[in-house]
Amino acid sequence: MLQSDRLTIQTLIDNTSCNPMMMAEWGLSIFIDTGDKKILFDTGAGNPDVLLNNMAVRGLSVTDIDVLVLSHGHMDHTGGLRPFFRMLHNLAPERTVEVFCHPAALAPQFVKHYGSFGCPYTPEELSRLGARFHFITEPYMLTPDVFISGRVPMSNNYESVGAAFYRPENSPFVPHSCPVEHEQLDFDACNTTYLQDTEVIDDMCLYLRTELGAVVILGCAHRGIINSLEHAVAVTGCDHIYMVIGGTHLAGVSQARMEYTVEAINRMGVQKIGVSHCTGQLAAAQLYSQLGEDRFFFNNAGSVIRFSGGAAQINKF
């Protein structure tokens, strides 16, 4: 069991920042120090210097990172990979960092009205700079109490990934067994046919098993925040969720889905929920109203979470 008083979670990148020295960008990156392992979860969108600047502000170096986990392949979570590995290669040319992700994470992905929205780099380029990729689809144990979720089952009837996501028709990662929409979208002006991606199969989370309960770290929760939390209970064996932080992808969802979501959060005993990135302002306001200030907080760039006396201490500066 991971002792929570050894655990520190720092949000390095979010759409907003609560630290005047840390930059904000549309994306997410979270640093987790378990006491035994230092994990970087996502890398933000890769705007010049954001990840490296914010790591430096928090006294972190790329050489501190033991493992890098990608929640999924969208560019606002993978764009910082090149700056990270270029700096690693410059500082320690012989050093490598293990990168865990779904095999679909590095395949081409598109978002309606935006165009190409997948990882902007190839695994070959990143490997030359020190990345060592491990592609997983099932739950994976990083340590006895730290788990990568693998593919999250879509087990309820009210969460879906939305209609904005597409992959090329010839992609092996389009879930052809699901209803799909064929549409000519001028993403790359080459008359390619794209299929609506009704599952975003590469979406994964990080689960920490502590004496307080499970701590869940979300990238975007494209496969549903409640699906992700229920999967956390199954994977970790914890009987409740103590804390969940990260992107919840509740922006624009129906009122019915919000009500089901809050009901499930209460049922699973979630004591703290810190929302980031793709949650949406209206959804965040509704969560705050329903859960109250003792349970809800904004998890911005600069947020630092430590644990003492059996409770989370959330610092913003």
Q: Has this prediction a pTM greater than 0.85?
A: yes
Q: Do residues 301 and 16 touch, judged by C-beta distance below 8 A?
A: yes
* pLDDT of 76 strictly over 60: yes
* pLDDT of 177 strictly over 60: no
Q: Report the number of secondary-structure helices (H) and strands (E) in the chain.
A: 7, 20
* pLDDT of 184 strictly over 80: no
pLDDT at 181: 56
Q: What residues contact 162, with CB distance under 8 A and at least 6 apart?
A: 222, 249, 252
pLDDT at 191: 65
Q: By residue range, what is the domain housing residue 180?
A: 4-316
pLDDT at 170: 82
Quick: pLDDT tens for 255-313: 999 999 999 999 999 999 999 999 999 999 999 999 999 999 999 999 999 999 989 99
Question: Which CATH number does the domain housing residue 43 bear?
Answer: 3.60.15.10
- Banded pLDDT at 176 (limits 50, 70, 90): low
* pLDDT of 180 strictly over 60: no
Coil, strand or helix at 41: strand
Question: Domain total for the chain?
Answer: 1
How many Cβ atoms are within 10 Å of 62's Cβ, its own excluded?
23
Percent of the residues in the chain that have a pLDDT greater than 70, as a whole number:
94
Picking from 36-45, 111-120, 162-171, 199-208, which range would have the lowest pLDDT averaged per residue?
Answer: 162-171
